[in-house]
Amino acid sequence: MSVRKKASPASLARRSTQRASDDAAVSAARNRLRRAAGQLTAVIRMIDEGKSCDQVVTQLAAVNKAVNAAAFTIIATNLEKCLTSRARDNKQTAEQLQKLFLTLN
Q: What is the pLDDT of residues 48-99, one digit of tens each?
A: 999 999 999 999 999 999 999 998 888 888 776 666 665 556 666 677 777 8
Domain assignment present for 5 = no
**Structural domain for 62, as ranges:** 10-102
Domain assignment present for 4 = no
Distances (CA, A) of 47 to 6, 33, 42, 85: 59, 21, 9, 45
Domain assignment present for 2 = no
Domain assignment present for 53 = yes
Domain assignment present for 65 = yes
Distinct helix (H) and strand (E) counts, the chain: 3, 0
Q: Is 73 helix (H, G, I), strand (E, B) or coil?
A: helix
Domain assignment present for 87 = yes
Amino acid at the residue 9: P
Q: Give the CATH number, domain containing residue 59.
A: 1.20.58.1000
Domain assignment present for 57 = yes
Number of compact structural domains in the chain:
1
Higher per-residue confidence, 104 vs 39: 39
Tell me the pTM: 0.64
